[in-house]
Homo-oligomer: A and B are copies of this chain.
Amino acid sequence: MIGTSYLNDRRKAILKAVVEEYILNGQPIGSEELLRKYSLGCSSATIRAELAALEEMDYLSHPHTSAGRVPTEQGYRIYVDHLLTLSPVSFQEEEKISQVLNRQAQDLRNILAEACRLVAAISTYTSLALAPQANQQVMRHIHFVPVSAKQALVILVTSLKVIQDQFLEVSVEVSEEDLEYLSHYLSRRLLGKTPWQCLQELPVIREEQPARLVSLLNQLSTVLHNVFLYEQSERLIVEGAENLLLASDFRNSFTQRRLADALDRRFLLQDVLDRHLTSRNLQIFIGQENEVVEMHDLTLLAMPFEASRYAYGALGLLGPMRMDYAKGIRLLACVTGVLERALSQEA
């Protein structure tokens, strides 16, 4: 037998075959099966020897003596790093996804939610979408609209195509002209600023305005807080959790429950995605590479996208370690591509 720790071409071919077979069927693969399905140019005994070498190198493992081989996390790692062949995204695919996402001009949250649903549905795994941070956007538009004698609507639009609207209570003293005036005044003072800068500015503005408008400005302050609040609670969208929970790989009820709880703790996932947003490339976390304990037997694909200049979000795909990497990566590449184009069409 050749040296035990060297990954020659035959071993690469065998490792690739094992990983892809396992992704396909989820069953341990034996030497005879490899011989039958792949033309490896040697006998099953030789394959066995190579399998043993690959196991020695920690790329494969053995559920038990008389079972076939299964990839280890390191095995998947080698696979995605060196063995995976990606076909480019076809124009038709991208066109189809583009159609679904652009069915109607939408604001950021709707687009992201739609993208997330799409990825979950196509992949049959769980999809995550992380919106850019609130402070990576600036106010583009601010407008008060009288709705009734007691209510007004405030509408904020930001550079990230986020629309935030909310009912405000209006005292009888506030006239329609006041609202009109305030719309223009605040536009002059706040447009081009980040939500945070706006919040800083509001107390100053409040001083300059007549007393009857103070309540309105206070409420606006709450709305701006909500832009941050949205950041905290709704920046992350999760779709298709049931796909993962019902996946045959995790029939253990304890694991299922734990995973369901983990997916509910948005902050956790949000944090993880955020921290890896610094890289501008696809990132892959296999098994224990995931910081979140509950995801230790899952793989997370995370693909950042540029929602607008310097504002990055991410689209993620969470599936079993034996997920179809090629398909998943293509899908994410395709959808983030469409997303970037849809979001960059700024007015």
Binding site for B on A (CB under 8 A): 104-107, 140-141, 143, 145, 147-151, 153, 155, 157, 161, 163, 165-169, 222, 226, 241-242, 245-246, 248, 251, 253, 256-257, 260, 346-347
B347, A166: Cβ atoms closer than 8 Å: no
A106, B166: Cβ atoms closer than 8 Å: yes
Q: In the complex, what's the smallest C-beta–C-beta distance from A228 to chain B, in angstroms? A: 13
Contacts of A226 in B (CB 8 A): 104
The contact of A105 among B107, B140, B166, B248, by CB within 8 Å, is B166
Contacts of A105 in B (CB 8 A): 166-169
A165, B163: Cβ atoms closer than 8 Å: yes
Contacts of A245 in B (CB 8 A): 242, 245-246
A167, B107: Cβ atoms closer than 8 Å: yes
Known pairs A169-B105, A245-B245, A246-B257; A347 contacts B155 (CB<8 A): no
B251, A253: Cβ atoms closer than 8 Å: yes
The contact of A140 among B147, B150, B163, by CB within 8 Å, is B147
B104, A166: Cβ atoms closer than 8 Å: yes
B153, A148: Cβ atoms closer than 8 Å: no
B166, A155: Cβ atoms closer than 8 Å: no
B147, A157: Cβ atoms closer than 8 Å: yes
A148 to B222 CA separation, bound complex (whole angstroms): 26
B222, A347: Cβ atoms closer than 8 Å: no
The contact of A141 among B145, B157, B253, by CB within 8 Å, is B145
Closest residue on chain B to residue A248 by CB atoms = B253
Contacts of A241 in B (CB 8 A): 242
Q: In the complex, what's the smallest C-beta–C-beta distance from A260 to chain B, in angstroms? A: 5
A106 to B223 CA separation, bound complex (whole angstroms): 11
B141, A153: Cβ atoms closer than 8 Å: yes
A104 to B161 CA separation, bound complex (whole angstroms): 22
Known pairs A105-B167, A226-B104; A246 contacts B251 (CB<8 A): no
Known pairs A241-B242, A242-B260; A153 contacts B163 (CB<8 A): yes
List 20 interface pairs A-B (beta carbons < 8 Å), by A numbering.
Answer: A104-B226, A105-B167, A105-B168, A105-B169, A106-B167, A140-B147, A141-B145, A141-B147, A141-B153, A145-B155, A149-B347, A150-B347, A151-B347, A153-B155, A153-B157, A242-B242, A242-B245, A245-B246, A246-B256, A251-B253
A49 to B141 CA separation, bound complex (whole angstroms): 76
Closest residue on chain B to residue A261 by CB atoms = B242
A222 to B155 CA separation, bound complex (whole angstroms): 21
